[in-house]
Structure 1
Amino acid sequence: MSSSLAGLSFQSGKPLAPYAADFRHNGGRLFSEPPSPTRGDFQRDRDRLIHSSAFRRLAYKTQVFIPSEGDHFRTRLTHTIEVAQISRALARGLALDEDLAEATALSHDLGHACFGHAGEEVLNKCVAPYGGFDHNAHALRIVTRLERRYAGWDGLNLCYETLEGLVKHNGPLRGGDKNKKIPFEISEFNKVFPLHLELYASAEAQCAALADDIAYNAHDVDDGLRAGLFDVDDLREVAFLNGLLEEIATLHPGLERVRVIHELVRRLITRFVEDALAETQSRLTALQPRSVDDIRRAGRAVAGFSPEMAAAQKDLKDFLFVRMYRHRVILPVWKSAGRIVRGLFEVFMAEPQKMPEEWAQAAKNVGEVARARLIADYIAGMTDRYALAQARQWLGQPLELE
C-alpha cells in the first residue's frame, strides 16, 4: 500500500473500530480498477457520486414544495447534503468510516423522481404492469447503468459496500417475509454482483439511514413553519417538541420567532444525534462485533434510536403527516404533479419519438415492457422544471403546479 494512504484508516486522530468497513479490504467493484495512490476507495465513491449528473439534478427536485414557493425550502440536493453531514457526525462518533457513511448518504436520494413523493407514487402506478418503480432500485440503476461517463463501463463502478448501503440502508430485502417482492432492478443486478440481500448493510450505511430520518424530520418542521402550514405553538402537540420549546423560552425569553425556529431545529437534530450515538454504542457493546461481517449478520440493526426517542420520532412523523403532507395547500400540488407524470408517461408510451433523440432511438424496436421501463427512466430523471416544460410542450394545455 502507498504510504500516502496509510493515514486514511484513521479519522479524527483515532483508529477506526474493528467492525468499521475497511476500504483497504472492501468487497470489490464490478469492473476491476487499480487503487488510487491518493484516495481510499470509499472516498473515490463519494467523489464519483458528487460529480455525477444525477447528483446535480437533485438541485431542481423538490421534497414537498415546488421551486416557485420560495428560495429557502429544501430541495433533494440540500436535503442530501444535510444527511451527509449528519452521517459523518454519527460515523465519527462511533469510529466508523466517514467516507462510506457520506457516500451512502449522497446516493440515498439519487433515484427519486420529479415532484417528490407525489411523482414517485404516480410513476409507480404507471409502471405497475411492467414491474413498478422504486426509488432505491432506480438509484441502483443510475449508478450501475444510466450514468455514462467512463470509457470502460456504464455507471459509476462503485464498491460493494457503497452499493449495499444504497440498496440495504433501511435493512435486508430478503428475510423472514418470503412473499416480499424485490424490485426488478435490484434482483437482476444481484445475479451479476451479489449484494447478499438477506443480510444487513454496514454500520456506516445504517448511520446514513438514521441521518435521513433525523434530517427530514427536523427540516420538514423548519420548512412547514416557513410556509405557514402550522405555527410554533402548534408544535406543542408533540410532547418532545414542547419540551424543546419550553427549554428555549426559559433560556431565551422573548426571543424573536425566526431565532426560536432555528434554536428548535438545531436542538431537535442534536437530541436525535446524541440519542442515536448512545443507543447504537449500547447495542454494539452488547453485540461485541469484531468485524463488519459481524454487523451484517447481527440479525437486527445495530444503529438506532432508544425506545423513548423512537416514540418521539413517531409522534413527530404523525404530526407532519397530518399537518404538512396532507395539508390543504399541499394536496392540490401533489394532484397536479401526479397528472403531469401520468400524462407524460402516456404520451411517451404512445409516441416515444417525442422524447429526445437518444431516448427515442433506444425505445425503437423493443417490447412494451422494455419501452415502459425506459420511459420511466426518462421521467424519473427529470427535474421539476423540466417536467413542467415537457408538460407544456406535449400535453396540449398549460399545466402548472397549482
Structure 2
Amino acid sequence: MARQWGPSMRAAERAGCVVSASRAGQPEAGSWSCSGVILSRCPDLVLCHGGIFTPFLRAGSGALSAAGAAFLPGDSCGDDLRLHVQRGPAASSPSGRAERGRPGLCTPQCAGPESGPQGRPRGRPLQPPRPAELLLLLSCPAFRAHFARLFGGEAAEQWRFASAAPEEEVTEDEEEDQLRALGWFALLRVRPDSEEEEEEEEEERGPAVAVASAAIWGQVVFATQETSPYDIAVVSLEEDLPDVSLPVPAEHFHEGEAVSVVGFGVFGQACGPSVTSGILSAVVQVDDTPVMLQTTCAVHGGSSGGPLFSTRTGDLLGIVASNTRDNNTGATYPHLNFSIPITVLQPALQRYSQMGDLGSLRELDSATEPVRVVWRLQRPLAEAPRSKL
C-alpha cells in the first residue's frame, strides 16, 4: 500500500499544515486549531476554515451572518489574536541539506529524538511553528447553499456537530456560532523567517495548473431491459472529450488484488465524486466466464455506473451495479457490492464503436438462466427438492 499511495501521500504532505489561534498573554484561555492547505510559497499563503476565528471577532459571531457579508478584513479580529502555522519535517536532500517546503507526515513518535532504541531511525520533529497574519475572512455562499440543501429541513435533526467536550457542556450559543461559521474560510500569510527564505521559496514555486469542469449533453443509444441481469446504458456525447484519457479494459481478474471505485455516491453531484478502496473479494463465473465481480469498496446509493479500477495497474475492471440490502431491516451493506466485468461489455462496445451495430449489446437482455441466478444472488439447486409427504 505504501508504494500504491506514496505519491498521493507525499503530495498531501507537501500541501498540508496545522493552523492554531490563541490570545496573546492568555495561555489559560486555550487555543483553537484546524488543518490548512498551503496555496503558494511566495507569498507564503495558507487557506483554512474560518470557524477558529469566531471567538476573536471584534463584532462577535453575528458579523458572519450579517446581511450582505461577503468578506471580513483581517483587522476584523482583535489585536490579541496570535496565529501560527506548523508544517511537517523537512525532507533531506542528497546533499544533506533540508529542502524547504517539503514536509512529511508526523505521527506522535516524531516528537522523539532522531534515533530510537537500538539505533532504529525515527521521524524528525515537526518544523517550529511560524507566525502568520490573517489577510481576510471570505464567505462561500455556494458551500452554505449546498449544506442547507443536504442537511436542511427534517434531515437536520439527524446531524450534530462533533465535539471533544461532553454534549451537556456544548451550549446553544456555541452551536449557533458553529452554524454561522459554516461557509467561511480564512486566507493567511505566513511570515518569512528571513529574506533569504523568501528568495528560496520564490525559486521553488511551480507553475499553477487550472482545472475546469463542464456539463456535456448526451443521448441514450441503448439501455438494457428491466428483465436483464445486467443493468447498463450506453450514452453518445454531443461533444468530444479530447483531454480525457480512455481507460484500458482489463483482460484478467485476480481475487485479492487492491481495487478502487469512483462514483457520485451518498450526496451525488452536491459533493462531487469520491474514491473508495478495497479488494476484489470474488470473481463469480458461469461456464468459466466471469459474470460478476464482488468487492469490499464502500459503495453507496448513486454510485451505480461508476468504474471499478485496479489500484495496481489502473486498468478498468468493471462497472458498479449494486450493493447489498437486507430486505427485512432495510439496512444496506456498502462494503458488499457487485460490478459487471468489463469483459462482458467490451466486445459489444467495440462492435458498436466500430460498426454502429447494437446487436451485441441487445444480447445482454437474453442472458442465460445461470447468469440470471447469479445476479439474483441465489445458488442454483443441485437437484429438484424432494417432498416430505
Tell me which interval the TM-score lies in, with the shorter structure as reference length. under 0.3
Higher radius of gyration, 1 or 2: 2
- TM, length-normalised to structure 1: 0.20
- Please state which structure has a larger fraction of its residues in helix: 1
Identify the structure with the greater strand proportion: 2
